[in-house]
Structure 1
Amino acid sequence: MGDSTASPSGIDAGGLCAQRFRSYEGAAIAAYAERLRVISSPLVGSAEAWQQCELQARRIFADCAESLALGRTKVTDSQIAEVMDLGGIRVQQSIHLTHSVRAGVILFDTVLDYLLQSIEHAGESVPERVAGYAPAVRALQQGIGRRLEVGSIAYDSFMLGRVREVHEQGHRKLAREIHDQLGNSLSLAMRQLELHELELSRKGAEVSKAVRSARAAILETLARTRELVTELRRPSVSGCLEAAINQFVASMGDSVAPVQVWVRGLDEWIPQPVSEELFLMVRECLRNAFRHADAGNIVVHIDIAPHEIQTEIIDDGLGFDVDEVRTGGSANGLAGLQERAELVGGRLHISSARGGGTHVTIWIPITEGQVTR
């Protein structure tokens, strides 16, 4: 939008639209809350849940207003760590993820209505209005989408943690029962045999082959019982991949952005060469984020299944132009990541924009006898 559309006060049409749009914030938030009440959403069922919901809605609204004023999409203050924490809070509030998804759809529709109103009487031609409107819509979509995405990761990870906790409690209980009941009974049986053997020895009688066999069987069962109890009491942590990533982050010191690492699934499902390549790729992404992103928060989420590995590295930093970097002097880093992904038969996707953070997705299939090429 050029100077020809400037108002007498020196504010261009985009600025006027943004001012008008900002004046609708209170009405938009009230309409959003009312629409949630109509569907009996638990997000407006308690003051705490609504306060958190309203805060995110106002941040998204502010991003839309800024994008409308600038004429380009700008998504800031994404607060990844806060949204990640919010996913766990939703579980504790007994609010299912589907309610957040529905709320996101309602928020998009509500804010979109007020965006249309703000540019309806801007006095511009249709192409100019569309050009100014599109960045704000993208900011709206990206703001809601990113929050739902990272929130769903946190929700799933928190639920997985709960399942693991219950699973481990069950294992510990079973270990106690085996130790206290079966172990004690076996020990008592062993003690009875020893007394029997001692009695036979006093009488000068020979211990029968059946008694010796029973003694050996009980000793073997006792040894296996101890192994089983030890195995059941061993924590079912995610394994060495998560530990290796956390160790690398710790080695970088306190000067780097906070990193939240979630790994779900079993490391045993990943062939060792693939696990090593994946660690190197995640490490390279983290190094790039530490050096260049100036991020406030970084999230690493690795989902391991028997047939595939899905990895996401997300930061809320400065972002960059992916095409520009691919053709510039810094292309070697991205090319190296791409090559490593291809070596294990996987795919790499990098989504980023200046001021919009970076989202790296790595997908790797798990096949029998898989080795790096």
Structure 2
Amino acid sequence: MLPGFQLNLLVIYFIYGLAFFSMGLLMLMEAGRSPLLAEARMLRPLAAFGLSHGLHEWLELFVLQAEHLGATLPQGLVFFRLGLLVFSFLSLLAYGVQVLRPPQKLAALDAWVGLGAFTVYLIVVNFLWAREPDFWLRIRMADALARYLLAVPGGLLAARVLQRSMATARLNQRLALAHALRWSIAGMAGYALLQVFVPASPFFPASVINATLVSQTLHMPVQLLRALMAVLVTVGLLRATQLAEEERQQQLFDAQQAKLEALQRVQEELVRREHMRQHLLQRIVVAQEEERARIARELHDETAQLLTAFSLNLAGLEKRVDAQPQVRDLISRLQNLSRRMSVVLRRLVHDLRPAQLDDLGLWAALEYLAESAREQLGLEVTLHLDGPRRRLDPLVETVVFRIAQEALTNVARHAANPHAHLSLQVDADVVHLRIHDSGRGFDVDEALRSTTGVGLAGMRERAEAIGAQFSIHSDPGKGTAVEVLVPCPISAPLHKEVSS
């Protein structure tokens, strides 16, 4: 033993087992995550080795206590401990055998190599047992052979696998991970070489090179050196798993950032397209109103003048025809027809582009609209206008007027109720238009889906063209309400607009 203090084998076995068991848990958890440290199928054998070998060392601790107390151990427990040791070394060999894999992977290579190694082990154990009748010597020989035939090659191959992982990490510029794996490589290689020092057994080289030689030469049990190597392996792999987890977190963060940036780009593109659509709708509304104004001017300037000239010519013709009553009646009917055409033409010109909307603003235009609805559609409109009588943006005035016009037309056509309410509320930063009736109502969704809902779609598009909120509420038998909310600052006062 080391001079100055007495090493406690129980503590050594406990730390020895704890180190490998912790490593097994680490590798088991790492196998269930994304393959940054290694693929899951590669880590599972290493996890199995750590868990089973840690349990074996704790069981060895129990056996030492029992022997110290003079208790007789059942043979079943002894065989179970030996089986646990062999299984742990086979798992380590299965992990290390991955370094022998060719570029074209062979199916179940780990299992075939493990089965072959176990078969060789059984053959050699049976050969030596046939020459030794003592049960405890047999167990010691089987323990030694497991370390010679399974642990040494398995540990060295496992160190080679870790070295290959370190080279890959260094190639990928993951230097911190490579540094952490270097400690595990050293620990695994040292652990493999220390398996040469087996319990003293009646066969060469176990009879010469064994644990007793280490104890006598270094004055410390070989289990202490193995425990140090186990701690070194576990600390290195613990650091490696921490670095792998940090990389996973960084990858997740980068993926989330990329997703957020992509979503932001999509959102910006949607906003840009929405602005483009709104601009196009504004241009369409402006173009429609300009075309309406042009047609109204042409009707007023050309067609109305032609009708006036036609009426004057009829009046002159009537004065020259005195003795022909039939001709005078025909001329009179033509004059009446001409006057009616003039009235219809004048109303058409007003409907195309009301002069009140351009000259006096939205308030006067809505008053004209309510009066026209009474005269032309037979609709009693209750008008409520609230707020400062000031001019708004021309496009806003046009859109609000057209929506009100279309809504009143729909009431006259479909509501089966001669009463409607029109209200306009103008505040400092919003214009609120509402038209409602108590008619028969309809299914809004069905009307918007059908081809007959063109008027509703037109009102919605006009509202969207100026960034307004458009809503329509209706149910069969409960009437209909159309509302428009326009975010719009008030423009110049009415008298300034009129004077200009």
TM superposition score normalised by structure 1:
0.36
Higher relative contact order (CA 8 A, sep 6+): 1
Structure with the higher fraction of residues in helix conformation = 2
- Greater radius of gyration (CA): 2
TM superposition score normalised by structure 2:
0.28
